Structure formats: structure tokens, C-alpha cells
Amino acid sequence: MFLEIITPEKKIFSGEVKLVKAPGTKGSFEILPKHAPIISTLEKGQIKVVDTSEQTIFVEIAGGVLESQNDNIIVLAEPAA
């Protein structure tokens, strides 16, 4: 899967990943390869990213929107203060 996390100021992350866990406004959720298409609003919290080398990265956000389709994930996020 390919993930991009973008804020109004800069691109925070761009690369191949195995797993993304996001703080959805209706509860946190994970996206794995071949996930069904989804669009979700995000609340304040951490996005957990596991990349293809099994490294875990956490990104703090203040909110945003996530779209996942055809193993491409785009997160438009407000940076945490």
C-alpha cells in the first residue's frame, strides 16, 4: 500500500506501508492491504504506520480526513500543536 500524510505546510510521510491505524471520529480503525474503499474524518490523536521494513512510526495530528482506495491512502491532516 502507498501512504501519503499531508498537512497544509508540508508532506509528513510518503511511502510503502503494511498497516495504518488512524483515530477516526467514530473510533480508531486499521487499514491493511486490499482494504475496502473508505473515507473517514479523523480526530486528534496518533496515526500509527508500519512500513515495509517493519518499522513503526507515530504521527500526531489534530484532526483531518483519510481516503483509502485501491491500496492508496491519502491523509489530509491538521498538525498537532
Q: Where are the domains of the chain?
A: 2-79
**Residue 69 DSSP code:** E
Enter the pTM of the model: 0.93
Residue 17's pLDDT is 98
The answer regarding whether domain 2-79 maps to CATH 3.40.50.720 reads no
**Residue 5 DSSP code:** E
Alpha-carbon distance of 38 to 68, in angstroms, equals 5
Alpha-carbon distance of 17 to 56, in angstroms, equals 10
Query: For residue 29, is pLDDT > 80?
Result: yes
Read off the pLDDT of residues 33-53 as tens digits, 9 standing for 90 and up: 999 999 999 999 999 999 999
With cell 492491504, the residue in question is: 33
Asked whether 9 and 80 are in contact (CB, 8 A), the reply is: no
